[in-house]
Amino acid sequence: MTPRHAFNAADRAPTGIVLLNLGGPETLDDVEPFLLRLFADREIIQLPFQGTLGPFIARRRSPKVRKLYEAIGGGSPIKWWTEVQAQGMVRRLDRLSPETAPHKYYIAFRYTSPSSDDALRAMQRDGVRRAVAFTQYPQFSCATTGSSLNELWRAAARTGLTDAFEWSVIDRWPTHPGFIDAMTETVRQGLSEFEPADRDDALLLFSAHSLPLRIVNRGDPYPQEIGASVHEVMKRLGVGNQYLLAYQSEVGPVSWLGPSTERVLHGLASKKRRNVLVVPIAFTSDHIETLSELDREYGDLARSLGITNFRRAPAMNGSALLQDAMATIVREHLHSGEACSPQYGLRCAGCVNPQCRHVANPVKAYARMPVTVTKETRQFIASGMARSTG
């Protein structure tokens, strides 16, 4: 016999869960378009004469980046892993939260398909009304989750779907116990690959994507949240291994948040450390920064410097614990009735982007949210539409 909630669920409009992430080029031919879109995004990169200089830099970097993707199998696995995670999440959610079932997932990447526009149009086709924007970056930064949300709201305006859905936002989960469990499991797996005699000596080098100091100095919460994630993982892990936190992937002439993972490896080598486990703390899936930068670039560097046992904790990728965490996070969120976390309502002290910290058509008026679209915001959204569609 079909349980009553399952029968009801089939009649109901699905709850749409939009997974926000950067995305990556799926094939080698996607590399150049991906870079062109990235270097055109003024929310992330500000260049003088961006309309000319952006494409110039993107095209010049393209062959090099293409080679990096070639070396890791011809493209980014992020879409693959996001699908795996999303399917596991939705299966669990239908069971955990029958009152909001059925749940359907939609992927919204930034510079590659499926885009926010694709996600919104698919939601409309599926008859979604209640929608949750669920960032796949555990720690919040304006450069990641903030800009993904801004793009989602711009896409809603572009597609004429601003009022089509009632939105709420899961904007961060840096210390959610389920996430910490899943991350800690990857560290245990990484440690288990050391010889027992070396294991206790292994230094845990947590590595997160760096952020330009310009963004840090505006009051971006990312460094504090990364620090909190590291703390919770170490507490959950319960081992006496030494650890430190560093930041990777800095590029270009601006100043970035340190210490740099690369320079830390030089320093550890000079101090004769032989056993290092690098732990990507800010990503849920493998992509170019783990498979190429950490495993190849820094791995080769570390070994050449004498760090003979340099290993990386696996990304969570297909981890069942991550899918448990994602489902639990969404269920708790849906049952809280909140439109977003209190922190999302707090614009960075130095923020100059008038679109920031907006929720389109929020499920519930949230006292501290700028839920009224100001003239300033409307102009900003319109200018974004002009740029994106023009």
Shortest Å, Cβ 230 to its own copies: 6
Q: What CA–CA distance (Å, rounded) separates 244 from 156?
A: 41
Output 63 or 259, the one with its CB closest to its own copies: 259
Output 155 or 281, the one with its CB closest to its own copies: 281
Phi/psi at 226 (5° precision): -60, -45
Task: Name residues whose C-beta falls within 8 Å of residue 116's C-beta, 6 or more positions apart in sequence.
Answer: 18, 108, 148, 151, 152, 154, 155, 156
Shortest Å, Cβ 342 to its own copies: 5
Query: Cα separations (Å) of 36 from 25, 33, 51, 58, 323?
Result: 12, 5, 10, 5, 33
Shortest Å, Cβ 179 to its own copies: 13
Shortest Å, Cβ 117 to its own copies: 31
Output 16 or 221, the one with its CB closest to its own copies: 221
| Chain positions contacting its own copies, by CB under 8 A | 174-175, 200-201, 203, 213, 216-221, 223-228, 230-232, 235, 240-246, 255, 258-260, 263-268, 271, 342-343, 345-351, 367-368
Tokens of 110: 């930034």
- Of the candidates 185, 173, 138, 131, the residue with the CA atom closest to the CA atom of residue 329: 173
Task: Name residues whose C-beta falls within 8 Å of residue 50's C-beta, 6 or more positions apart in sequence.
Answer: 39, 40, 42
Shortest Å, Cβ 382 to its own copies: 23
Output 63 or 350, the one with its CB closest to its own copies: 350
At residue 189, the 3 state secondary structure works out as helix
Output 227 or 362, the one with its CB closest to its own copies: 227
- Of the candidates 94, 161, 169, 88, the residue with the CA atom closest to the CA atom of residue 128: 161
Output 191 or 291, the one with its CB closest to its own copies: 191
Asked whether the beta carbons of 114 and 107 are under 8 A apart, the reply is yes
Shortest Å, Cβ 344 to its own copies: 9
Q: Residue 173, Cα to own-chain centre: how many angstroms?
A: 11
Output 118 or 332, the one with its CB closest to its own copies: 332
Asked whether the beta carbons of 167 and 131 are under 8 A apart, the reply is yes
Shortest Å, Cβ 336 to its own copies: 11
